[in-house]
Amino acid sequence: MRFFTPGHSTYTDTLMLYGLCRALYLQFGEEFEGAFLKATRIGQQYMIEVEADVDEIVEALMRIPSSEGDRMYSQLTEARSPLGLFGEKDVEEALETLRDEEGLKEYLNDLREVGHPTRGREGRGGRGKTLKLPLIPLAGKYQHRDLTSTPKFAAKSYKACKHCRAITLLGFLNSVYGVRGREGRMIITLPFEGMVEADFFSDFFAFYPMYWEQFFDELRRVRLVDQVPIRTATYIVISLFSGDLIDAMTGAEAGWHSIG
């Protein structure tokens, strides 16, 4: 099956890509390798080609509530967690959406063609519910206007359908490196330009930065975390990656950067 992430923003679509790949990785296990999946960046969205049909992808997503539900609650709603930027209702809604077989099938079929947000009238001031700021930080709160013609910015939230919100939240859990400091939180994810196959995602999801929490606990203790720019934090993240993950990144037909 070939389908496209919606095109809400590079950051949001990157989270959605990782969320979809996480579900497929858990579902297919050892089959999830090589050309089983190819993800190609096209503008601010991704084209995903996977050796699975829509029913198999739906099944993979429907298994997320049982496999990832507890972790979503503990890491996304706990205020002390670096990723704890959401409420329990956000997680409940996402898990309920991922249990809706017919809704997921209709959604994935719609993603076969570019233009999902336009067809669904999503976006700034559009239909659906607000896509929260950690899931689309570049959108902010206000709609851009020509300041030569109006003295104010209209407050219009960025809206998205429940399926976009659920998959983006899943991707946030599984692709964002979060750092909690005294002045707030820094979040980092890794989009790419080019094409990446399943091996990268397998290594990415299998990787665990053993000393990540201890390292940033020390930064917080000496009050340095609020002074570390995103570029430096990204270098620190990559320095903790496993050798297999670095090999997968360098072997991919892609260039890497960070968004935070």
Query: pLDDT per residue over 59-77, tens digit each?
Result: 999 999 999 999 999 999 9
In angstroms, what CA-CA distances link 51 with 32, 84, 115, 157, 223? 9, 34, 23, 37, 48
Cβ within 8 Å of residue 26, ≥6 positions away:
60, 63, 64, 67, 68
Is 139 a domain residue?
no
Q: Quick check: 165 pLDDT over 50? A: yes
Is 70 a domain residue?
yes
Is 134 a domain residue?
no
| Residue-level pLDDT at 221 | 66
Q: Got the DSSP string for 14-52?
A: HHHHHHHHHHHHHHHGGG-SGGGEEEEEETTEEEEEESS
Cβ within 8 Å of residue 91, ≥6 positions away:
69, 72, 73, 76, 77, 169
Q: How many Å apart are CA 49 and CA 29, to the nearest integer?
A: 17
Average pLDDT value for residue range 86-100 = 97
- Name the residue with higher pLDDT: 236 or 12: 12
Is 151 a domain residue?
no
The secondary element (H helix, E strand) that includes residue 91 is helix 88-97
Q: Which residues does residue 254 pair with via DSSP β-bridges, in sequence order?
A: 194
User: How would residue 148 be classed by pLDDT, with cut points 50, 70 and 90?
Assistant: low
Identify the domain containing residue 209 by its residue range: 2-123+162-256
Q: How many Å apart are CA 21 and CA 31, to the nearest integer?
A: 13
Question: Per the structure, how many domains does the chain have?
Answer: 1
pLDDT, one tens digit per residue, over 13-47 is 999 999 999 999 999 999 999 999 999 999 999 99
> Is the distance from CB of 16 to CB of 126 less than 8 angstroms?
no
pTM of the model: 0.89
Q: How many Å apart are CA 49 and CA 53, to the nearest integer?
A: 10
User: How would residue 147 be classed by pLDDT, with cut points 50, 70 and 90?
Assistant: very low
**Length of the chain as a residue count:** 260
User: Count of CB atoms within 10 A of residue 250's CB?
Assistant: 9
Is 149 a domain residue?
no
Is 153 a domain residue?
no
Average pLDDT value for residue range 93-115 = 98
Is 130 a domain residue?
no
Is 157 a domain residue?
no
Q: How many Å apart are CA 171 and CA 21, to the nearest integer?
A: 9
Q: Average pLDDT of the chain?
A: 87
- Mutual orientation of helices 10-28 and 54-62 as an angle, nearest 10°? 90
